[in-house]
């Protein structure tokens, strides 16, 4: 194994701890993301070449700097550059949040919430495919069950790398899930329907019939049209992918039950909003509704908002 080290300089304010915690949903692990309170780790699969990245903060909120250690075989300049770019995307180092902060400072509901989470950036998924599979996998089940299934999926079908006695796993490639088939997913306790949907999407990607990464270059409306044309993908999933997979600023999953409850606590005397009410109310936050959504959930998961 070879090692290399690069640095990233995020756009301030940047709180590495909050951002890394958000990437693991304020736990120690989410899918292939790990965070132990000091180091964020992720095994990347860069076109078949696996690299373990270990990221720690060397800076401050207003003068941030991240050290990225890369471990892998044959670390050439191209691989190192690709790894650096992927980590910058995963941990959202290149977004300027100042326009959002200006808007939030003028909103009496958002201002105290945002001030308490200053420097939180929005982590992204490594690929649209990964975000889509995890969104389908997590539909209509508890967070605890979803977490177990994510771990099984990764550790059964993801490519492994053993480093210093510990085995890390990359997120499964479409070809691996096609090879597993419906029966392979059923064997790790996925439902029959979810197994079918995920294998169908993986097969369409592997054969070239479906191309998801190109959605990065499409406007929001076209992204939603393409995603909702896929079986089992509704507006809720498409809106979440605008936020988590594509880094868009104005995604708003207005029929998310947890979001409706949280908005009800904040602005409706504890009574949950109806989806259309939430969508109408959210108009005052456009074009920054992705950030509002992320900050609301971070406040709940971190215990800042009961």
**pLDDT, tens digit (0-9, with 9 covering 90-100), for 51-84:** 999 999 999 999 999 999 999 998 999 999 999 9
Contact 287, 249 (CB under 8 A): yes
| Catalytic-role residue among 15, 45, 250, 256 | 256
Give the pLDDT of residue 306: 66
∠ Cα 224 22 7 (to 5°): 100
Task: Give how far Cα 218 sits from Cα of 179, 201, 227, 305, Å.
Answer: 30, 20, 12, 35
CB atoms within 10 A of CB 59: 17
Q: Of 129-143, 182-196, 202-216, 274-288, where does mean pLDDT reach its minimum? A: 129-143
- Position 301 pLDDT exceeds 80: yes
Report, as an integer, the average pLDDT of 166-180. Answer: 97
Report, as an integer, the average pLDDT of 25-34. Answer: 94
Helix (H, G, I), strand (E, B) or coil at 243: helix
Before 109, cis peptide (omega within 30)? no
Confidence of residue 94 (pLDDT cuts 50, 70, 90): very high
Domains annotated for the chain, with CATH where assigned, are 2-93 (3.30.310.20), 128-244 (1.10.340.30)
Task: Give how far Cα 242 sits from Cα of 6, 66, 158, 215, 250, Å.
Answer: 29, 26, 25, 10, 8
Letter string b/e over residues 267-286, b meaning 16 or more CB atoms within 10 A of that residue's CB: eeeeebbebeebeeebeebe
Report, as an integer, the average pLDDT of 89-104. Answer: 98
Segments in the chain forming alpha helices (H): 16-23, 77-90, 98-105, 110-115, 128-137, 143-157, 174-187, 192-207, 220-228, 235-244, 257-267, 275-282, 289-301
- Position 190 pLDDT exceeds 70: yes
- Position 194 pLDDT exceeds 80: yes
256 an active-site residue?
yes
Rounded Cα–Cα distance for residues 304 and 306 (Å): 7
In terms of C-beta density within 10 A (0-12 exposed, 13-18 middle, 19 or more buried), how is residue 208 classed? exposed
Give the pLDDT of residue 48: 80
- Position 184 pLDDT exceeds 90: yes
- Position 28 pLDDT exceeds 90: yes
Residue 198's φ and ψ, nearest 5 degrees, are -65, -45
Q: What is the pLDDT of residues 146-168, one digit of tens each?
A: 999 999 999 999 999 999 899 99
- Position 42 pLDDT exceeds 70: yes
Confidence of residue 305 (pLDDT cuts 50, 70, 90): confident
Helix or strand holding residue 52 (H, E): strand 49-57
Give the pLDDT of residue 232: 82
DSSP 8-state assignment for residue 140: T
Give the pLDDT of residue 231: 86
pTM tops 0.75, yes or no: yes
Give the pLDDT of residue 304: 87
Rounded Cα–Cα distance for residues 299 and 296 (Å): 5
- Position 18 pLDDT exceeds 70: yes
Report, as an integer, the average pLDDT of 124-132. Answer: 97
Give the pLDDT of residue 273: 94
CB atoms within 10 A of CB 17: 15
Rounded Cα–Cα distance for residues 255 and 251 (Å): 12
Contact 52, 62 (CB under 8 A): no
């Amino acid at each position: 194994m070879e090692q290399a080290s690069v640095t990233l300089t995020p756009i301030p304010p940047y709180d590495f701890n909050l951002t890394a915690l958000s990437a693991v949903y304020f736990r120690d692990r989410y899918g292939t993301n790990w965070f132990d309170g000091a180091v964020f780790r992720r095994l990347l699969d860069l076109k078949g070449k696996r690299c373990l990245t270990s990221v720690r903060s060397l800076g401050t909120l207003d003068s941030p700097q991240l050290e990225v250690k890369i471990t892998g075989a044959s670390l050439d300049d191209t691989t190192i550059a690709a790894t650096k770019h992927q980590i910058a995307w995963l941990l959202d180092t290149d977004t300027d949040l100042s326009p959002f902060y200006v808007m939030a400072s003028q909103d009496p509901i958002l201002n105290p919430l945002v001030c308490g989470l200053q420097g939180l950036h929005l982590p992204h998924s490594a690929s649209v495919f990964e975000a889509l599979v995890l969104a389908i996998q997590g539909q209509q089940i508890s967070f605890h069950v979803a977490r177990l299934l994510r771990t099984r999926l990764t550790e059964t079908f993801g490519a492994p790398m053993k480093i210093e006695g510990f085995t890390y796993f990359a997120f499964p490639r479409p070809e691996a899930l096609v090879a597993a088939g419906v029966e392979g997913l059923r064997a790790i306790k996925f439902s029959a329907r979810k197994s079918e949907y995920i294998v169908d999407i993986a097969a369409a990607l592997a054969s070239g019939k479906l191309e998801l990464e190109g959605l990065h270059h499409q406007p929001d409306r076209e992204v939603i049209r393409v995603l909702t044309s896929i079986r089992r993908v509704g507006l809720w999933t498409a809106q979440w992918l605008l936020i988590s997979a594509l880094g868009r600023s104005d995604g708003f999953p207005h029929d998310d039950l947890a979001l409706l409850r949280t908005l009800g606590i904040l602005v409706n005397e504890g009574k949950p909003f109806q989806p259309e009410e939430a969508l109408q109310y959210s108009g005052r936050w456009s074009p920054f509704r992705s950030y509002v959504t992320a900050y609301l959930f971070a406040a709940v998961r971190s215990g800042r908002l009961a």
